[in-house]
A and B are shown apart, each in its own frame.
Chain A
Amino acid sequence: MSVIAPDETRRTPAPPPGTFLGMPAFPVNAEQQLANAQLRANLARATATIRAKRALRVAEVPQWEDLRAAAAAIKDRVLANLDTYLLQAEANLTKAGATVHWARDGDEANRIVTELVRATGATDVVKVKSMVTQETDLNEALERAGIAAWETDLAELIVQLGHDRPSHVLVPAIHRNRREIREIFLAEMGRYGTPAPPGLSDDPAELAGAARAHLREKFLVADVAISGGNFIVADTGTLVVVESEGNGRMCLTLPDTLISVVGIEKLVPTFEDLEVFLRLLPRSSTGERMNPYTSMWTGVTAGDGPQNVHVVLVDNGRTRALADPVGREALRCIRCSACMNICPVYREVGGHAYGSVYPGPIGIVLTPQLRGLDSAIDRSLPFASTLCGACVEVCPVGIDFPKLIVHLRRLVADRERTEPGLEPAVMAVGEWAFGQGKHLSLVERVAEIAGRVFGPWRFFRKLPWPGSLWTSGRDLPVPPRESFRHWWKRVKP
């Protein structure tokens, strides 16, 4: 692992250069990631562990299928009446002493947050893991404004100190093993605060202890915290943050100013609806009956916690997804990450290949809708699937992934037909698939399904060597259409 020289012009560790949107299409990224044996080993072990835990905890709940159906119905109700629930939430938040802000896109959200932080005079903020602020790249916006944003979730800390990007929604450092984490802590912690103890071993308990000491100092002085939110309850104005480590509680409780940045789809109609989601989410995500800590707060409570409370409601492409009657189903997602843990493509290529803060099945159906189909990476995402359907089985809100994926592939095909100048995402998938013998086992499944939509001729017109050998040496233009399902049945863990 290379140690990155500190950049004296920055307050926080520099992330890797480039942006997600500037990344090449999925096949190119996936190819790079497949070459990383450490990543694949880490991922295989971690996802196998978490899948087993999930299965165990789900099996304990006899009403599981009823709960999933209820969750899907509640989320569909929210989406169908989103304007009403947003206004209701705004009114209740305001009544409870919170200030509500609205942001059309990521830049606007970042601007609002930066101004709110500036108004407090703070130059450092502590952050609870939040997907939406990753979407908007808030940390870098704050850095440019001279404000240091410190990630406090252990995995996010590993990612931040490692000059890295998250690769999983729930376990962002899932691609790092303990030895790498030890090296990162030893090299970087001292530059940004309390250093790691010199004799630090790679024992996870010791590593967690080093993070505790490093972050405690930040919690004890922070004046401003930035959080996301798992749910906003429309009928009470309550925000909910579900977490494990207690860093969330620290951020939500100790500073005087709390700014929560939340996607507009995070609503639930009533407080009672939480009984459904609080049973589904922990079991689906970490495979626990209940996560260690859940915090709920409603605006300002006199004498308890932050007295300056803000909520930023972020669109950033959500209304684009909402406008698609088929695609909007992806907005049900509660970010449990079960779909990525079960996904055979995710498991092999890891989260970084997707060029999106949301990897795996949810990433390939949500990201192209949030960002649109302008970039090659977004057009290629719907093809990063074999349509095996494993994700459908585990999704707690019943998202019908194959339906959405096929729908999005059609949209991509239409777009590329009408705008011939675009780099054809499908072609890229096909060439990658058949041009690399070693990837064939994975990618024939990806490409095969693409073939269902576009017809096999698109893949076989101009395959480069050695794919050309492969095609000429065999009769079948594409792998048999049912091959993947059979394969999946055979190898399914």
Chain B
Amino acid sequence: MNARDEILARVRAGLADRGTGAGHPVDWVYGRATPLPDVLGRFVERCEDYQARVIRVAAPDVGPTLVRVLRESGITSAVWPAGLDAGWRAAVLAAGVTVIADDPPLTRRQLDETGGVVTAARVAVAETGTIVLDHAADQGRRALSLVPDFHLAIVRGDQVVSDVPEAVAVLRASIDAGRPLTWISGGSATSDIELERVEGVHGPRTLVIVLAE
């Protein structure tokens, strides 16, 4: 017998005691919102708890805000996913930031030498201070938001949900479309040395979220 058949046979033999009925009902209602008095306020508070910086701006001010944040952070070149807002791109270009397209695809070394990356996000979770990327065209493939040391993410207010269950419900469509997902809660961190939290190990050491309302 090959390994597959043998493991399946062992499973079935091991479960000889199982009945035929459905069994093991799960007493849980999926996709519920967690009641929060102020979803966006909670999102900001929780992100900051994880040392991410959040800047709340009116939607039309996103372009100038990007320019300001990149300048303050000393980022002179940034990877720019193909599907990210052209108006924001123009604003950043006009401010003298070098905008780098992933076409042809950047090598790992090129990404490592790039100052930062700007992306959108698919959904954000208030209760946990999380943004989730599904790596659609306005976010770019996974390596873009991983290798550069600075990540600026733009989240629309209407993308912020209360808690994990609502986010999972939103993300079902991305999964069905075969997209990978990256859940990001604050910056990279480790507690491996005496349980002391250290920010910034391998992922981008700086995460800035621009929340556009």
Contact = CB atoms under 8 A, between A and B. Distances in A.
Contacts of A233: 175
Contact of A154 (B18, B163, B192, B204): B192
Interface in A252-298: 252-254, 264, 271-272, 274-276, 278-279, 286, 288-298
Interface stretch (B3-11, B72-80, B89-97): B3-11
Contact of B3 (A76, A108, A299): A108
B168 A272 contact: yes
A462 interface: no
A290 B183 contact: yes
Given A155-B192, A212-B202, A275 B175 contact: no
B23 A80 contact: yes
B24 A288 contact: no
Contact of A254 (B24, B108, B203): B108
Given A155-B192, A158-B192, A272 B172 contact: yes
Interface in A216-231: 216, 219-220
B146 interface: yes
Nearest to A283: B128
B135 A208 contact: no
A133 B133 CA distance: 29
Chain B CB within 10 Å, residue with most, of A80, A178, A304, A328: A304
A113 interface: no
A305 B176 CA distance: 18
B168 A104 contact: no
A305 B147 CA distance: 13
Interface residues of B, number: 75
A208 B193 contact: yes
A278 B168 contact: yes
Contacts of B112: 216, 220
Given A276-B28, A293-B203, A323 B14 contact: yes
Contacts of A264: 7, 11
Interface in B66-124: 105, 108-109, 112
B38 interface: no
Contact of B164 (A154, A208, A278): A278
Nearest to B6: A104
B122 to A, nearest CB: 12
Interface stretch (A238-246, A409-417, A475-483): A238-246
B202 A250 contact: yes
A181 B7 contact: no
Given A73-B26, A294-B182, A303 B105 contact: yes
B195 A102 contact: no
A238 B203 contact: no
A334 to B, nearest CB: 15
A154 B190 contact: yes
Contacts of B201: 154, 208, 211-212, 244-247
B128 A290 contact: yes
Given A80-B18, A102-B3, A304 B202 contact: no
B181 A292 contact: no
Interface stretch (A32-40, A42-50, A376-384, A453-461): A42-50
Contacts of A286: 191
B172 to A, nearest CB: 6
Contacts of A177: 194
A74 B146 CA distance: 33
A323 B3 contact: no
Contacts of B27: 66, 69-70, 73
B143 interface: yes
A296 B177 CA distance: 13
Contacts of B105: 303
Interface string A67-107: 00110011011011011001100000000100001111000
A319 interface: yes
A298 B178 CA distance: 6
A271 B4 contact: no
13 contacts: A73-B25, A74-B28, A153-B192, A208-B201, A238-B175, A244-B190, A271-B171, A290-B164, A292-B186, A295-B181, A298-B180, A304-B180, A305-B141
Given A45-B195, A208-B198, A288-B185, 20 more contacts: A46-B194, A73-B25, A77-B23, A77-B24, A173-B192, A204-B193, A208-B190, A212-B202, A246-B203, A247-B202, A249-B203, A276-B28, A290-B129, A290-B183, A295-B181, A296-B180, A304-B180, A305-B143, A313-B7, A319-B14
